[in-house]
Structures are given as structure tokens and as C-alpha cells.
Amino acid sequence: MSWGAYVPLAEEMPSQVVVVSAHSKTVEDEYEVESVLLEAMVAGHSLSLMDQQGGVEGIALKLRSSIDTGIRGDKADLQRRRCLFGSNTYTEKPVKGFWSFLWDAMHDLMLIILAACAFMSLAVGVSTEGWEEGCYDGAGIGFSIIIVVFVTAISDYQQSLQFRALDKEKKKIYIHVIRESQRRKVCINDLVVGDVVYLSTGDQVAADGVFISGHSLIIDESSMTGESEPQHINEQKPFLLSGTKVQDGFGLMLVTGVGMNTEWGHSMAVLGKEGDDETPLQQKLSRLALLIGLPLAVTLTLAYAMRRMMVQKALVRKLSACETMGSATYICCDKTGTLTTNQMTVVKSWIEGAIWQSNGTTPLVSFMVKQLLLESIFVNTAGDVSEGKNGELAFFGTPTETALLKFGVALGEFKSTRPKTNIIKLEPFNSVKKKMGVLVRSSSGGNLRAHWKGASEIVLGCCASAIDAAGSIVPLDDSKYSELMGVIKRFSDDSLRTLCLAFKDLPSNYVSEGPIPDKALVCVAIVGIKDPIRPGVKDAVQVCYAAGIRVLMLTGDNLNTAASIARECGILTDGDVVEGPEFRKLSSEELRRRIPRLQVMARSSPSDKHRLVMELQAMEEVVAVTGDGTNDAPALHEADVGLAMGIAGTEVAKESADIVILDDNFATIVNVAKFGRSVYINIQKFVQFQLTVNLAALVLNFVAACITGHAPLSTIQLLWINLIMDTLAALALATEPPNDDLMKLPPLGRKGNFITKYMWRNIYAQVFYQLTVLAILHYRGKDILQLKGPKYMEVLDTMIFNSFVFCQVFNEFNAREMKKLNVFRHTFNNWIFVMIVGITITVQFVLVQFLGKIANTAALDLQQWAITVLIGFFSLVVDMAAKLINRIYARLFDPKRDSLIITSFLHHIPTGAYQQV
């Protein structure tokens, strides 16, 4: 029944449910059922309530919708529905303001201890020296605390804003609805009560509703009810809950509840879900209070990488995935949609013994075969064609389906085909069976007929005959069979995805019980579908190989098609190709023996993909998996890093993934690996810098205090160096952008040490240099520098302090490159780094020259400044020398030596072991 034709009848109205909107009281604008009642019906799974309302059709009418044509869907209509039944949005938790982050940052144990120190030194200072002179130490410490608290709070606050932005992005999910007889794509937030929604495999059920029609619709309710057994939804069990997922099949649903009026909305209100995810590296390091700035550095680095990755079209759902991706040794990649564009077109076909190419000509086929094909294409499909107001056609469904539909439209009249046939049973496509079938009765009262389509060699294997050049059905004997297998091979060698279409007429006394018959079919056509390779894929694959990351193609497609595309992408070189059925027979040992040579797995099922990932992990590999379909979800979930496609990907795939690739491009995945590596390396850079500062300061003060009873660096100076300079350095080094060289190194895998021998070499060289120079200054400085006057001690200590700080400033440059000599490369690509070095130098200048009382310094003259800066500058030379000596030594003696330097101090932090939180 169409919208316009609907006139509410008074008798139809049940007495207890009349809702009249406050501002529109005309009969026409009324809905005849209350949302409370609909809610109770769905929540209680009450079939009796549903019957009272006249079943799904009755409810649709009362909601001024129709199960055939949907709602009217104009602005006013949508507005009214939202006004009465609510909109499909959820109340969000109130934003945590900056002040609460500030409050949280103050609860750091270390800072509380410092605050106590500040208070005590203030008390002691003031009581012994009076306010004027005695407040500086305490005030200095207090000031340092304030700076650290602010930096921490700002960084946490910014990160929370970023998570909000991500959350918003995550919620941009689109689905198909029928409005005004047209199929339309809308955002799930725009759904209203009364909408008729399409559901297909992998979709999220975005509102509460009731089943209208569909086939083999199976829903995974585990996220809502905790029920792990998938639920079959049909006329007898018609209730669908928001927040659940379509596991298989497809159907139509009438929306009865949206947003906060759904079951999901209620539980959201109770839980107020929040994504608080600390990465394993963070967890490990935060326990390690040795280095104060370290947790901050990790947060900053990850947050920065996350923001930059977003710009490059990768949405990071789990922070830990950044780090892990940096150590990936394998990328298991599905073909369709990742390596290829997923824009499919039928370019070749075999019909009635002839091969047709799509160079403008449509296959000329006999009337009978054409009718058969049209019925097969337009009825045996999960897709749809609809005609817009101006006669333009819109195609819906998976790319494979739409390619076939377009082929069908080119072949002949489509509008008359569908209404004439009556679908009795339908078996939707899935990746395990790799075929789809329907059982139909034509409206002309004919017999039953089964149509099948699917993976060509599988469907052909079910055929007993085929239609020959004369248009007659001939038995599929050995020679005919090998002729058709030859056609499939020819198509797939051209990288085409092949499908076989077949049918079977059933005897007039056939009773439709049990599954749709799929034996002794008649092969009608074989089609070859082109799916062009994405530009840039080949280069990206090469980058992976250069970076020591192996790329495996796991696809549901035919062996030849897969091999041919893999060759074009540069994935298949001289390695092996295996087919799902053969793979399943291999034992674990056999498989592990074969894996190192494996490059392509064809005709794989979801469980094959999953098993391969598990075997790789058992071999200590760090595995990244990419995928778009529901069939990829198990593997995505199992992987160390799961990457789902943002455009072609189903909601189920995205939910199982750690990172969503918004542009579906393989090249973006490689970029993610690059960022992952830079995250890891940036943290290493910071650790190298910080260990140097800490070791040098500690030893300097300790040794000097033991020997002379006088520590050259005062508390405030130590705080400035250890707390503030460190925090700033964390920011400077965390924001180092990745460079292409990162992808020329082998991956870290599971085994790498966090602090490498190169880092220790650099640290030792610097600490040695700094201690030597500062010790000389401390003991012999007075004579060497010919310091005189009553204040010479203060001046000397200030010079030591200033030299020390400048050593760190130059060492911040050293930290940028662990092995290369040129530490200034690309410095100006990172303006934050430059700015922070600038700030550090300025603050140091002000401290020394003007804030002597707080910093316990004496102003230096120009010459003294020059000497101290020069001492700092020499750090660069020392770093270079250490790197050079190392190179010469390595070349002269042992190119493979690797255990000379102590490898772990902070415990080993095995990189790949950071599984998802």
C-alpha cells in the first residue's frame, strides 16, 4: 500500500494507544501507536502485542509507513518523527573539562613528594632567613611542579579531544533504507521510527525493529544479550535489537525504536562506555618510575602519530596498534578491495558456446537463454536495481553483484523480470560455500526452478549439462567439462574473477522441503569480472619487501585469478601458491615448513585465513591482517594488528579491527607501518636522551658530593634539568616525523631489545665526556679559568650548570640519529623541535642572567658564556667520534659482533609482545 492511499480508519484504532503530538492535532499527522508500547513489545519479544497491532504491516501503517514503499521522508515528516519518537543518537557523557585533567595531573606521587619538599624548604627558608631571602628554593620547586602539571594536563586534555573526534568518525556508518519507494543511503543517526531498513551480512543493526522479510537472516546478539548462539530471525522470531550484527543472510526491518529509546540506548545510559586504553608499552613504562618524563613521552608520541595517521587516512582505534604495526613482519592482505579497486565490471562471458568481450557489443543470445539469464541475474541476487525519477538507474549490492546486474541490464529488460517470479527459497552467498541459490516459481504458474551462481569451478562441479551453441542442453561429458574449465582458466589468467551461472528445472511433483537442490545443474554462462589493481600498489609492496615485511595474499578468489593479480602487484615472485582445500589438509608441521615460501592462498575460507594467522604467530612472527568482509573478521581479530577497510569494509570487519584504513588503500597500510616504526624509534630517541641526562647528573652530583662534600648542581637546577627540560625534550623528540629511511631497515619483530647497543654506545660516550669535562671544571676550573673575587665559587658552579645544560641541548640533536653522522638532517621539518630548543636556551639564559636567586646562579660574562656553550657544542663532536670509531672497529674486526655492549638495563622490552590491550 502506498503512502498517499492510506486513510486511517477509526475502527482500526486500538483504544489504549493514541498519541497526539502537542503541536499537530490534525488526524493526518497522528501516529497511532505509542513508542512506549513498541519499546515494550521489542524488549519483551512479545508476539501477542505485535499481533494486537496488526503484525508488522499493521505497525507500519500506524507509523504512517509502508513495508513496500517506506516513509515519505521529506523534511517535515522526518522532523515530526524525531519530535515524537526521538532521533537515533545517544546521549554522550559530558566532556571532561581541562580543570579535571589538571586535577588528575596533580595526583602524581612524585609531584606530591616534591610539593612536600617545596613546602618544607619554604618553611625552613623563611624561618631561618626571613621572607625576602628564604622563599626562593621553595618557590622554585613549586614553579617546576606547576609547569609539569600544566604540560601533563594539556597533553592529556588534547588527547581526550582527539578521542572524541575519533569517536565521531567511528560513528559515521551508512545503511540503506526505502523512502518514498526509493532505495536510499542514509547515515545511521538519521534513521527514524517507521523507516524500512535493508540488512545484509556484516551490517550493524542500527535501531530496534521488527522483521519484514528476508532470507536466512542470522543475527549475532552477543554484544547485546550476551547470547553467543546466533539467532535466526524470521516471522516467528521477528524482533531485532539495536547494537547487534547481521552474521548471515539478508532482510528488511521496520524501525520501531531509535536512540535512547532502544535497549542499546538504555544500556549505554547505564554504562556510559569510555575507551580508556593504555598501551602495553605505556603500562610497562609507567610502572618504571625511574624516568619521570617517559610515560609522558610515550603518550605524546602515540598521540602525535595518531593525529598524523588520521590525516593520512588511517583511523587508529587502539593506540597499541601503532607500536605493534611498527614491528610487523608479515602483512596478510586480502585481494578484493585492498589491492584492487573493488570496481567490478563483467568484461568477458561464455554463453551458448561463444566467448563475448565487452567492447561495446552485447552478447547475442537466443530468447530462451536470455530469459534464463535475466531471471538468474535479477532474481538470484542480494543486490538491487532501482530507477530514479529521471529514469537513471541506481545499483545496490556488493561489487560482484552490481557488476552482474549491470551486465543483466545491458542484456535486456529488467523491470519485468522480478515481479514475474516468485521466490520460494533463497540461500544467500557466503564465503564458505562461495555460491548462492534461489528456488523460484514463475508467475505464469510454471514449475519450480533452482538458480545457482558462484565460484566458477565449484558451481561447474555441480553441473551435469550445459547449453551449447545451438541453444540446446547437452551433457557435460569430459570433453565439454574440460572445454569449460579451459574457459575459466583463460578468464582467470587475465586476472578476471569468474562466476558460473547454472539452473535446474524441477519436476512438477517436486515438494520444496530441505535445501535448494544443487546437483545435476545446467550451466548457462560463465562470466569474467575485471577488478582493476589500485595504482601505487606495486610500489607499496616493494616498500614492504625493502622493509623486510613479507606480504601474503589471502583471497577467496580462484587460484589463477589470485596468482595473476598477485603477480601484477609484485606479491607473487618465485614463491608458492596454495588453495584453501589443499591448505586445510596440511598438518601444522607441514604448514610451517611451507610458510616461508608461501605467497598466495586462493579459495580460502574465513577459517583458513584465521588458521594461517595463528600458525604465523606460533612461528614468532608479528602479523598484520587486512580485510573488508565479514569473512575476514576472525583473522582480523586474531592478528597482532587488524586493519579494516573504511569504505568497502562491513561494520563487523571494522569492529574487529584495530585500525581502519579510510581510503581502502594498500599504500596507506604501508604508511601505517612507517608511522609505527617512527613511534618506536622516537621513544628510543627520548630514552637515549633522558638516560644520558639522568646518568650524568646523578654521577656528577654523587661523586662530587662524596669527595668534596659539595654538589655542583642545586636542587632547583636539577629540577629544571630533570623535570622541565625532559618534559620539553619528550615533546621535541616525540614529534619527529617519520622518514623513508625507516622502511629500509628490517622489522623489529618480537625479539628486538628496546635499548639497543647503539643507544648504549651513545649514552656511554656522552656521559663519559660530560663527566670528564665537568669534573675538570669542578676541581681545576678556578685555575684554568682564572676566576677571582669573592663570588668565584658561584660563578664556577654556574658555569658547570650552564655547560651541563648546553651539553644536553646539543645532545638533543644527537638523539635524533642513532647511527647516522649527520644529526641535523631534516631538522627544520620539525618546527616543534626547533621551537623547543629555542625555548630551552631562552629559559636557561634568563635563569642564569636574571633569576640567580631562584636558580642559585651568578650572571656570566660573554667569555664565560662562550666557553660553556662551546663545551656543550663539543657533545656533537663526541657523538660523531663515537659513531665513527664504532664503524671503523666494526669494519676492521668483526662485521657481525653484536654482544659487546650490555643490552638491557630497563629489562628487555620485547616489541612484538605488546598484544592488544
Ligand X SMILES: Nc1ncnc2c1ncn2[C@@H]1O[C@H](COP(=O)(O)OP(=O)(O)OP(=O)(O)O)[C@@H](O)[C@H]1O
- Active-site positions read 334
Please identify, using beta-carbon distances, which residue of 322 and 440 lies nearer to ligand X.
440
Min separation Cβ 430 and ligand X, Å: 8
Instruction: Determine, following the binding rule CB under 5 A, whether residue 628 of this chain makes contact with Ca ion.
Output: yes
Please identify, using beta-carbon distances, which residue of 555 and 911 lies nearer to ligand X.
555
Please identify, using beta-carbon distances, which residue of 64 and 335 lies nearer to ligand X.
335
Report d(CA 538, CA 514) in Å as an integer.
47
Instruction: Determine, following the binding rule CB under 6 A, whether residue 665 of this chain makes contact with ligand X.
Output: no
Please give the C-alpha separations between residue 274 and each of 96, 160, 669, in angstroms, as whole numbers.
Answer: 12, 11, 27
Q: Which does 454 bind (CB under 5 to 8 A by kind): ligand X, Ca ion, none?
A: ligand X
Residue in the structure block whose three cell numbers are 504458474:
445
Instruction: Determine, following the binding rule CB under 6 A, whether residue 534 of this chain makes contact with ligand X.
Output: no
Residue in the structure block whose three cell numbers are 524500512:
196
Instruction: Determine, following the binding rule CB under 5 A, whether residue 629 of this chain makes contact with Ca ion.
Output: yes
Report d(CA 179, CA 197) in Å as an integer.
9
Please identify, using beta-carbon distances, which residue of 166 and 578 lies nearer to Ca ion.
578
Query: What's the per-residue H, E or C state across 512-565?
Result: CCCCCCCCCEEEEEEEEEECCECCCHHHHHHHHHHCCCEEEEECCCCHHHHHHH
Q: Which does 813 bind (CB under 5 to 8 A by kind): ligand X, Ca ion, none?
A: none
Nearest to ligand X by Cβ — which residue?
A: 556
- DSSP assignment, residue 725? I
Binding window for ligand X (CB under 6 A); candidates: 147-155, 348-356, 449-457, 767-775: 449-457
Please identify, using beta-carbon distances, which residue of 582 and 741 lies nearer to ligand X.
582
Q: At how many degrees (to 10) do helices 726-734 and 294-311 cross?
A: 20
Evaluate whether 747 touches 548 at the Cβ level (below 8 Å).
yes
Binding window for ligand X (CB under 6 A); candidates: 333-341, 764-772, 851-859, 880-888: 333-341
Please identify, using beta-carbon distances, which residue of 135 and 459 lies nearer to ligand X.
459
Report d(CA 813, CA 837) in Å as an integer.
9
Please identify, using beta-carbon distances, which residue of 405 and 547 lies nearer to ligand X.
405
**Maximum distance among all Cα pairs of the chain, rounded to whole angstroms:** 120
Number of alpha carbons in the 13 Å side-chain half-sphere of residue 746: 6
Question: Which phi and psi angles does 746 have, rounded to 5°?
Answer: -70, 155
CB atoms within 10 A of CB 444: 7
With CB under 5 A as the rule, give the number of residues binding Ca ion: 4
Residue in the structure block whose three cell numbers are 483504544:
15
Site for ligand X in 413-432 (CB under 6 A): 429, 431
Which x/- pattern over 54-93 shows residues binding Ca ion (rule: CB under 5 A)? ----------------------------------------
Instruction: Determine, following the binding rule CB under 6 A, whether residue 453 of this chain makes contact with ligand X.
Output: yes
Evaluate whether 659 touches 676 at the Cβ level (below 8 Å).
no
Report d(CA 730, CA 740) in Å as an integer.
22
Say which residues have a Cβ less than 8 Å from residue 15's Cβ, sequence separation at least 6: none
Which x/- pattern over 625-664 shows residues binding ligand X (rule: CB under 6 A)? ----x-x---------------------------------
Q: Which does 555 bind (CB under 5 to 8 A by kind): ligand X, Ca ion, none?
A: ligand X
Min separation Cβ 455 and ligand X, Å: 4
Site for ligand X in 465-524 (CB under 6 A): 497, 499
Report d(CA 436, CA 85) in Å as an integer.
39
Min separation Cβ 635 and ligand X, Å: 10
Binding ligand X (rule: CB under 6 A), the pick from 32, 518, 557, 726 is 557
- DSSP assignment, residue 724? I
Binding ligand X (rule: CB under 6 A), the pick from 166, 197, 405, 436 is 436
Taken as a whole, the chain contains a residue count of 917
Question: What single letter denotes the amino acid at residue 6?
Answer: Y
The DSSP element (H or E) to which 551 belongs, if any, is: strand 550-554
Min separation Cβ 384 and ligand X, Å: 12
Binding Ca ion (rule: CB under 5 A), the pick from 216, 247, 336, 856 is 336
Min separation Cβ 414 and ligand X, Å: 17
Instruction: Determine, following the binding rule CB under 6 A, whether residue 435 of this chain makes contact with ligand X.
Output: yes
Please identify, using beta-carbon distances, which residue of 69 and 400 lies nearer to ligand X.
400
Site for Ca ion in 201-220 (CB under 5 A): none
Q: In this structure, is the dihedral angle defined by the CA atoms of residues 169, 171, 177 and 179, taken in order, positive or negative?
A: negative
Min separation Cβ 43 and ligand X, Å: 35
Say which residues have a Cβ less than 8 Å from residue 655's Cβ, sequence separation at least 6: 204, 245, 633
Binding window for ligand X (CB under 6 A); candidates: 93-101, 190-198, 346-354, 450-458: 450-458
Instruction: Determine, following the binding rule CB under 6 A, whether residue 611 of this chain makes contact with ligand X.
Output: no
Please identify, using beta-carbon distances, which residue of 446 and 486 lies nearer to ligand X.
486
Site for ligand X in 336-375 (CB under 6 A): 336-337
Q: Which does 63 bind (CB under 5 to 8 A by kind): ligand X, Ca ion, none?
A: none
Binding ligand X (rule: CB under 6 A), the pick from 64, 179, 335, 761 is 335
Which x/- pattern over 253-292 shows residues binding ligand X (rule: CB under 6 A)? ----------------------------------------
Min separation Cβ 460 and ligand X, Å: 11
| Cα distance from N-terminal residue to C-terminal residue, the chain | 52
With CB under 6 A as the rule, give the number of residues binding ligand X: 23
Question: Which phi and psi angles does 101 have, rounded to 5°?
Answer: -70, -35
Report d(CA 474, CA 451) in Å as an integer.
18
For the record, the C-alpha cell of 604 comes out as: 580460502
Instruction: Determine, following the binding rule CB under 5 A, whether residue 656 of this chain makes contact with Ca ion.
Output: no
Min separation Cβ 299 and ligand X, Å: 36
Instruction: Determine, following the binding rule CB under 6 A, whether residue 550 of this chain makes contact with ligand X.
Output: no
Report d(CA 765, CA 772) in Å as an integer.
11
Please identify, using beta-carbon distances, which residue of 333 and 759 lies nearer to Ca ion.
333
Q: In this structure, is the dihedral angle defined by the CA atoms of residues 297, 302, 303 and 307, taken in order, positive or negative?
A: positive
3-state secondary structure of 197: strand
Min separation Cβ 840 and ligand X, Å: 51
For residue 498, what are the β-bridge partners? Answer: 528
3-state secondary structure of 453: strand
Please identify, using beta-carbon distances, which residue of 208 and 632 lies nearer to ligand X.
632
Of the candidates 629, 588, 640, the residue with the CA atom closest to the CA atom of residue 612: 588
Instruction: Determine, following the binding rule CB under 6 A, whether residue 400 of this chain makes contact with ligand X.
Output: yes
Q: In this structure, is the dihedral angle defined by the CA atoms of residues 520, 521, 523 and 524, taken in order, positive or negative?
A: positive
Report d(CA 868, CA 846) in Å as an integer.
15
Parallel, antiparallel or unpaired: strands 208-220 and 245-257: antiparallel
Parallel, antiparallel or unpaired: strands 435-442 and 448-455: antiparallel
Instruction: Determine, following the binding rule CB under 5 A, whether residue 334 of this chain makes contact with Ca ion.
Output: yes
Please identify, using beta-carbon distances, which residue of 400 and 756 lies nearer to ligand X.
400
Binding window for ligand X (CB under 6 A); candidates: 97-105, 182-190, 358-366, 448-456: 448-456
Evaluate whether 183 touches 384 at the Cβ level (below 8 Å).
yes
Instruction: Determine, following the binding rule CB under 6 A, whether residue 580 of this chain makes contact with ligand X.
Output: no
Question: What single letter denotes the amino acid at residue 398?
Answer: T
Min separation Cβ 622 and Ca ion, Å: 22
Q: Which residues form the interface with ligand X (CB under 6 A)?
A: 334-337, 398, 400-401, 429, 431, 434-436, 453-455, 497, 499, 555-558, 629, 631
Q: Which residues form the interface with Ca ion (CB under 5 A)?
A: 334, 336, 628-629
